[in-house]
Structure 1
Amino acid sequence: MPSETQVNSKHKIAIVTGGSRGLGRNTIVNLARRGVDVIFTYRANRAEADAAVAEIEALGARAFAFQLDTGRVSDFNAFVEQVKETLQTLGTDRFDYLVNNAGNSYHAPISETTEEAFDELVNIHFKGVYFLTQKLLPLMNDGGRIINISSGLARFTVPGISAYASVKGAIEVFTRYLAKELGPRRITANTVAPGAVQTDFSGGVVRDNPAYNKMVSDTTALGRPGLPDDLGPMIASLLSDDNRWVNGQRIEVSGGANL
């Protein structure tokens, strides 16, 4: 939680959803290595979030963790107030980077997809991203950066993941609109689309199921599934000024999956 001591922040500040584990955790660590302070969300596991805060602080950056279900738009106003208070703690009223990363998975053929599961996917991966971004934009510095996490599945097709892939396709369209509408503020918006990554996402199937791991390896040019450390450094780099002229793009980071 934020310290009561006011400090003057000269660092860039990032907000990352779903930052306590997997790809999100790797992203905030790599941002910290670049001197970026981080506000991140977690859904349920406070112990994981506290461990992530400690890891960031050991790297010399500052980190603040808040519980948030990114599928519950009704909770966003309270989260924005927490962000405002934290920014004041950091000696500012604006942040620089937003990474919409939080998500869940769902596997079922079209014939068996339930309306409840479909609505949850839409709320977390599309509606939540849309309206959290909307509510945070007044706090973002002009010249800021937005990255929305999509999926390789929005380009190639794996039967049984249609609902998840469809909402990721919606995020890619939304990102292009962000880039266009926020151009006057010099805010860039891009999509990063990971391929299969060895984390606990989807129950750890890519990491822990040998047959699935082999299937991914056999269809990937570089011969293996991704690792979190294949993605986090790329996202941190894309947010930096080195990539200030990249805007409105979908960048797939999959090792060459299904070429």
Structure 2
Amino acid sequence: MDQDTSAAVSQRAPGSPLAGRTAIVTGGSRGIGGAIVRRLAADGAAVVFNYSTNEAPAKEVVAEVAAAGGTAWAVQAELGSLDQIEGLFTAADQHFAEIGADGLDILVNSAGTFVRTPFGETSEAAYDEMMAINAKAPFFTMQHAVRRLRDGGRIINLSTVTTRWPRVHESAYIASKAALEQFSWVATRELGGRGITVNVVSPGPTDSGAGGMLQSATTDAIRAEVANQTPLNRLGLPTDIAAVVAFLAGPDGGWVNGQNIRADGGLVW
């Protein structure tokens, strides 16, 4: 164990709800995924997360977690490749072994991609990309996780409120997330005998800043309109979603299973 890792482990508060737990988070370098990594690490988990191509924000997350006394590692992996998904889990095995952890406790599928196009103009490439990242990748990360999860583990998959609140120009995106929801319900039944819970968190419109999915796909006017439709009169923040994930991953979430929690400030009834 290197000196930096040892220091991070020693600074964990003994009363942290996830102390001694391990977690893998996909898409953990920015936005909602980055907030989830920071929150799980703050709660005591040792976290491995992947980034796709841009290493700089991933390194920032690792540094922020370490500065706060937590433990996180970034692994480059393209989730559209099954070989790289396997590589992500192999790297996680190695990192967890370095700190004396045996096995996996939490999987969070946060990675996603979004292309907003009219139904009749969606290209095959855009369709394939959304299905590959939003449906196929989490199916196989769950498969790898099942082989490693300790009894009593947690799987948390991020979907979207638009599976219940369909929006124009989002057909392929909604379909890919609906598939993920169905994978989750089946996994709930298959894994319940081991005490493993499987839940879905469906964020509403969430402002993850410049370059985030919402800002990239919408205008200021659209975001203001949606915020006004929410009873709380604001958009969500990545930390709002991370708090729900942390609850499901923690000891107080153990009796919540097979649910789709819409974290949207009351936007969708």
For normalisation by structure 1, the TM-score amounts to: 0.93
1:179-194 to 2 correspondences below 5 Å: 179-194=188-203
Q: Percent identity at matched positions?
A: 37
Q: Which of 63, 68, 77 is equivalent to 2:72?
A: 63
1:81-131: CA deviation from partner (whole Å, max 9, x where unpaired)? 212211211212202100000111110111001111111111101111001
Q: Which of 251, 260, 264 is equivalent to 1:250?
A: 260
Give the whole-Å Cα distance in 2 for the aligned partners of 1:133 and 1:139.
10
Within the alignment, does 1:132 sit opposite 2:102 as a pair? no
- RMSD (Å), alpha carbons: 2.0
Give the 3-state SS of the residue equivalent to 1:182 in structure 2: helix
Letter in 1 for 2:198: A
Give the whole-Å Cα distance in 2 for the aligned partners of 1:172 and 1:104.
16
Which ranges of structure 2 fall in alignment gaps of 5 or more residues?
Answer: 11-18
Cα offset, 1:249, TM superposition: 0.5
Give the whole-Å Cα distance in 1 for the aligned partners of 2:166 and 2:214.
20
Which ranges of structure 1 fall in alignment gaps of 5 or more residues?
Answer: none
Q: Say whether the 8 Å CA contact 2:197–2:257 is kept in structure 1.
A: yes
Q: Say whether the 8 Å CA contact 1:219–1:258 is kept in structure 2.
A: no
1:189-211: CA deviation from partner (whole Å, max 9, x where unpaired)? 000000000113336247x8320
Q: Which of 123, 148, 173 is equivalent to 2:182?
A: 173
1:164-204: CA deviation from partner (whole Å, max 9, x where unpaired)? 01111111111111111001111000000000001133362
Q: Which moved more, 1:208-217 or 1:160-169?
A: 208-217
**Once superposed, which parts of structure 1, at least 4 consecutive aligned residues long, lie more than 3 Å away?**
2-10
Give the whole-Å Cα distance in 2 for the aligned partners of 1:36 and 1:6.
13
Q: Say whether the 8 Å CA contact 2:31–2:238 is kept in structure 1.
A: yes
Q: Which of 225, 230, 243 is equivalent to 2:240?
A: 230
Match of 1:26 in 2: 35
Give the 3-state SS of the residue equivalent to 2:147 in structure 1: helix
Letter in 2 for 1:221: P
For normalisation by structure 2, the TM-score amounts to: 0.90
Letter in 1 for 2:79: T
Within the alignment, does 1:144 sit opposite 2:153 as a pair? yes
1:10-60: CA deviation from partner (whole Å, max 9, x where unpaired)? 621111011111001111111122111111111111111111011111121
Match of 2:249 in 1: 239
Match of 2:81 in 1: 72
Q: Say whether the 8 Å CA contact 2:207–2:214 is kept in structure 1.
A: no
Q: Which of 229, 237, 260 is equivalent to 1:219?
A: 229
Letter in 2 for 1:218: N
Q: Which of 212, 215, 230 is equivalent to 1:201?
A: 212
